[in-house]
């Protein structure tokens, strides 16, 4: 009786792998636990062992093909075919159940339409300038939940922030197309919703969902394999019974250099501080068995002092955080992580800025004494309104006033440097060190806001940013930025322009330093280092210095801002 060998889980989050080499051929007799194929995932190269002894009938993939986890890898006739009867019947029942569920879902859809309701897909909208995908952080609803219009349905993380996606219609959640941790594409179906009313011609139900596509392709793949295996005979190919549930079947064998050993054997080796490269395997093709490790331990008690750094760090079990893995970092070990999210966005944005914008810098010292006195005077008034008054609202408002006189600082050059855009609105961004990375939200139309307005908006945005949930509107449309490195102790810096903006300033911490006055007397002054970076294609040095002088004059003599306040 022919059965299918189903490619098992070969690593956390792994859904497919590349077939590197078949270690058996069609018609060959294989033994239980014999390595059958060598595959490569995005984490490691592993060998897949057989779970039954028998004859290989058909290899479903060629070398170089991509094989799907939980799909048939090859078919075989086991030596003890009768032992698999119950499992085969279960597999057939499961297939029938899946088909039944699909039919039920279709009937439910038809029934809903006849009852004045229909299923429509919610299409993931644009969630930020240049954002094409996002990661599902948390679903706030479950299938079957009744939701209201504008209710927050899901939290997603883009390369800029974590945002909540609200429902645009009320209804019942019919299906969630993504699981937590999945990557969802902008303009693709996010979830299906049962809503009242007749379906329109533009309804998303005509589009195939990601889950539906996966299910359909999986069924088609299995049907194709069955047909290939059985030709035109009435006998159907059965799915091999899974032995993961009862713990009899070990995961695939990881390959580290020339060492062949299962994760269970590697765990024993780590516990015993044994270097597997020094162990001679007694299994087929030199595979190291658990008995080999235990025998070595008994025969050589000094083996525990051997260095395990060559094998332990790359062990699949160690990667998954096995509770038995070493609690300390081994000398010389290397930890590699994928760059993603905010960190990936920063790498891309900063590289593009440095490579395409010729930066030049201007530095100066800002005397903070008068501004400190004014803040101290106004602070109680702001606190009475539950608003914290920092120096940032003063910096932001003074910058807006200075931009009125120097519009080129608030401009942007297009990609091919053929056009320059001058912005009437002063959308001033400020860097925030949030829990998900560096964010640069901005306050819109600062030219129309009072000091109190700015402080209120800034306080709200900072709270959102530190929670990692800044609204998308605050993360796009910025025209100039401020980086307050002094808030964490920095003094000077050469900031990188937040492309496509034309300028950015980095503010250092305030220090009490000795300075000479006009009469040559030494006095203590509160000094802040100011460091500008400008786009030298459109801003020349003299213009930047004059702009900085005007901006600093509003801060050293803050009463001058009064004449410009509306």
- Active-site positions? 536, 540
CA distances, 471 to each of 149, 162, 193, 289, 342 (Å): 18, 8, 24, 55, 15
Report the number of secondary-structure helices (H) and strands (E) in the chain.
10, 29
CA 247 – CA 296 distance, rounded (Å) = 26
Read off the tokens for 159.
């390369």
Read off the tokens for 286.
């030199």
CA 56 – CA 5 distance, rounded (Å) = 10
CA 50 – CA 54 distance, rounded (Å) = 9
Q: Which helix (H) or strand (E) holds 109?
A: helix 85-114
CA 460 – CA 302 distance, rounded (Å) = 62
CA nearest to 364, candidates 137, 532, 562: 532
Q: Which helix (H) or strand (E) holds 252?
A: none
Give the dihedral sign, CA 68/69/70/73: positive
Read off the tokens for 254.
């990881």
60, 225 Cβ separation under 8 angstroms: yes
CB under 8 Å to 110, separation ≥6 — which residues?
Answer: none
Q: Which helix (H) or strand (E) holds 538?
A: none
CA nearest to 125, candidates 98, 85, 105, 153: 153
């Amino acid at each position: 009786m022919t059965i299918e060998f189903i490619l098992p889980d070969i690593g956390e989050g792994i859904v497919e792998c590349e077939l590197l080499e078949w270690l058996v051929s069609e018609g060959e007799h294989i033994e239980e636990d014999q390595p059958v194929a060598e595959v490569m995932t995005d984490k490691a190269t592993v060998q897949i062992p057989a779970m039954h002894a028998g004859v290989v009938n058909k290899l479903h993939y060629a070398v170089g093909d991509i094989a799907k986890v939980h799909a048939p890898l090859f078919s075989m006739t086991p030596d003890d075919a009768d032992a698999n009867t119950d499992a085969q019947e279960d597999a057939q029942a499961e297939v029938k159940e899946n088909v039944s569920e699909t039919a039920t879902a279709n009937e439910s859809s038809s029934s809903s339409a006849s009852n004045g309701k229909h299923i429509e897909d919610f299409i993931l909208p644009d969630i930020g300038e240049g954002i094409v995908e996002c990661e599902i952080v948390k679903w706030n609803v479950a299938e079957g939940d009744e939701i209201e219009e504008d209710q927050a349905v899901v939290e997603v993380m883009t390369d800029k922030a974590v945002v909540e996606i609200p429902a645009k219609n009320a209804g019942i959640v019919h299906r969630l197309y993504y699981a937590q941790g999945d990557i969802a594409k902008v303009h693709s179906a996010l979830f299906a919703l049962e809503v009242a009313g007749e379906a329109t011609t533009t309804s998303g139900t005509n589009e195939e969902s990601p889950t539906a596509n996966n299910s359909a392709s999986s069924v088609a793949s299995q049907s194709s394999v069955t047909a290939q295996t059985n030709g035109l005979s009435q006998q159907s190919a059965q799915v091999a019974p899974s032995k993961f549930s009862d713990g009899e079947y070990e995961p695939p064998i990881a390959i580290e250099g020339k060492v062949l050993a299962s994760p269970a054997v590697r765990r024993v080796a780590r516990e015993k501080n044994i270097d597997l490269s020094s162990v001679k395997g007694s299994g087929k093709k030199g595979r190291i068995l658990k008995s080999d490790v235990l025998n070595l331990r008994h025969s050589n008690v000094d083996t525990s002092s051997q260095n395990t750094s060559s094998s332990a760090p790359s062990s699949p079990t160690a990667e998954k955080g096995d509770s038995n893995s070493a609690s300390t970092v081994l000398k010389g070990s290397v930890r590699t992580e994928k760059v993603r999210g905010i960190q990936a966005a920063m790498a891309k944005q900063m590289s593009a800025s440095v490579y395409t914008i010729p930066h030049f810098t201007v530095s100066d010292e800002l005397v903070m004494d008068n501004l400190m006195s004014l803040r101290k005077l106004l602070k109680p008034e702001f606190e009475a309104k539950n608003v914290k008054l920092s120096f940032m609202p003063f910096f932001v408002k003074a910058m807006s006033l200075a931009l009125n006189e120097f519009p080129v600082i608030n401009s942007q050059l297009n990609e091919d440097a053929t056009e320059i855009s001058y912005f009437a609105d002063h959308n001033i961004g400020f860097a925030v060190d949030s829990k998900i990375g560096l964010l640069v939200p901005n306050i819109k139309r600062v030219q129309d806001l009072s000091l109190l307005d700015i402080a209120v908006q800034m306080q709200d945005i900072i709270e959102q940013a530190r929670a990692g949930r800044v609204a998308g509107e605050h993360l796009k449309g910025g025209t100039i930025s401020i980086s307050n490195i002094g808030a964490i102790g920095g003094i000077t810096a050469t900031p990188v322009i937040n492309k496509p903006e034309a300028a950015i300033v980095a503010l250092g911490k305030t220090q009490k330093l000795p300075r000479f006055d006009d009469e040559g007397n030494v006095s203590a002054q509160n000094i802040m280092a100011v460091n500008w970076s400008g786009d030298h294609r459109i801003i020349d040095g003299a213009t930047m210095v004059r702009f900085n002088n005007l901006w600093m004059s509003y801060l050293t003599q803050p009463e001058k801002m009064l004449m410009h306040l509306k």
